[in-house]
Amino acid sequence: MRALTFLAGRFVAGDTIDDAISAVRALNRDGIKATLDNLGEDSRTNAQACAAAEENLAMLRRIAEAGVDCTISLKLTQLGLAVDPALARENLTRIAEEARRLKNFVRVDMEGSAWTQKTLDLAYSLHGRFPDLGVVLQACLRRTEADCRDAVAKGMRVRLCKGAYKEPVDAAYASKAEVNENYDRCAAVLAAAPVPAFATHDDERIAAAARSCAAAGLGKNDYELQMLYGLRAERWRQLRAAGHVVRVYVPYGTHWLPYFLRRLRERKENVAFLARNFFR
Ligand SMILES: Cc1cc2nc3c(=O)[nH]c(=O)nc-3n(C[C@H](O)[C@H](O)[C@H](O)COP(=O)(O)OP(=O)(O)OC[C@H]3O[C@@H](n4cnc5c(N)ncnc54)[C@H](O)[C@@H]3O)c2cc1C
């Protein structure tokens, strides 16, 4: 387990908020923005959900004290959506209020498709009070192009990603090619949304999204390109040097296993990295 913890360090900034803030400072020095994520999902009790909410409040305060260029990202099952939806709503409201007070932004990550509608319903129900609350949509899902149109109509800020969860066949596209095509279609729709964020390490998707934004009259400061901590660091800097706004998703905390396994599953090079270092 100690070896795995060491290897997860490639994708995770450390155990504590202070570890994560150090990583954010280093990114900011290169002109790269960040979003902090306290790893964890599926709180099983109200106490766990409330502890996660407190951690997110602490993150917002620590970001403000440190003066770093950084938002936060969180998961609603971590805030209690699976055990007590009313508590999850209360937790998200407290966090959104604190973010507003501190002039920050909260991104609600998207989990597996069983949570899509519940996540969007909760986020939209608070969006009128908290415009600085955004969501994530996943190009792997068949419903997502329609969700993008809805987000544009409602003025919701969206991060578009491919989707990291294993999905039922009726909900999701089966092939990578279909997911990629849908990503490009959704990116074109989202060019009309406020500050669209394109989260991918895929150069073709980045290029297509940038073309759609340019065609919609957006400048490079009007949208964000986002990548994950530990993946393609040299590319972040190239994109930044080319004038793009780049934001890196910085996860931290001790509950890193599900996140780590998702990273291994989506790319065989990441497994090769694990195997190489494990045997070393
Ligand atoms: C900022 C951010 C936030 C996210 N938030 C969520 C979320 O809320 N919910 C969710 O379900 N998922 C989320 N994800 C994960 C996402 O859905 C994908 O699982 C993950 O990003 C992998 O897909 P990809 O778009 O990078 O492309 P992939 O299909 O994994 O890769 C496509 C191509 O990109 C290039 N590439 C990828 N990785 C590398 C690398 N390490 N080095 C060199 N080239 C590489 C290669 O050319 C590869 O063929 C997020 C991702 C990011 C970046």
The structural domains of the chain, with segments of one domain joined by +, span: 2-279
Minimum CA distance residue for ligand 1 atom 46: 202
Which pLDDT score, from 0 to 100, does residue 4 have?
Answer: 66
Which pLDDT score, from 0 to 100, does residue 9 have?
Answer: 78
Which pLDDT score, from 0 to 100, does residue 1 have?
Answer: 61
At the top level of CATH, the class of 2-279 is alpha beta
Among 235, 240, 205, 199, CA closest to 220: 240
Atom of ligand 1 nearest to the CA of 266: 30
161 Cβ closer than 6 Å to some ligand 1 atom: yes
13 Cβ closer than 6 Å to some ligand 1 atom: no
Minimum CA distance residue for ligand 1 atom 29: 202
| Helices (H), ranges, 80-195 | 85-101, 116-127, 144-154, 176-190
Atom of ligand 1 nearest to the CA of 162: 17
Cα separation, 275 vs 74, in Å, equals 30
- Other C-beta atoms closer than 10 Å to the C-beta of 212 total 22
32 Cβ closer than 6 Å to some ligand 1 atom: no
| Helices (H), ranges, 104-232 | 116-127, 144-154, 176-190, 203-215
Longest CA–CA span in the chain (Å) reads: 53
Residue pLDDT tens, the chain, 280 long: 666 676 777 889 999 999 999 999 999 999 999 999 999 888 999 999 999 999 999 999 999 999 999 999 999 999 999 999 999 999 999 999 999 999 999 999 999 999 999 999 999 999 999 999 999 999 999 999 999 999 999 999 999 999 999 999 999 999 999 999 999 999 999 999 999 999 999 999 999 999 999 999 999 999 999 999 999 999 999 999 999 999 999 999 988 888 888 888 877 666 666 666 555 5
- Which tokens belong to 132? 């600085």
- Other C-beta atoms closer than 10 Å to the C-beta of 233 total 13
| Residue 90 CA to ligand 1 centre (angstroms) | 31
Dihedral sign, CA of 54, 60, 64, 70?
Answer: positive
Q: Which amino acids are annotated catalytic?
A: 109, 159
What ranges make up the beta strands (E) of the chain? 33-38, 70-74, 106-108, 133-138, 157-161, 197-199, 224-228, 245-252
Cα separation, 255 vs 264, in Å, equals 16
| Residue 214 CA to ligand 1 centre (angstroms) | 23
- What pTM was estimated for this model as a whole? 0.94
185 Cβ closer than 6 Å to some ligand 1 atom: no
Which pLDDT score, from 0 to 100, does residue 261 have?
Answer: 83
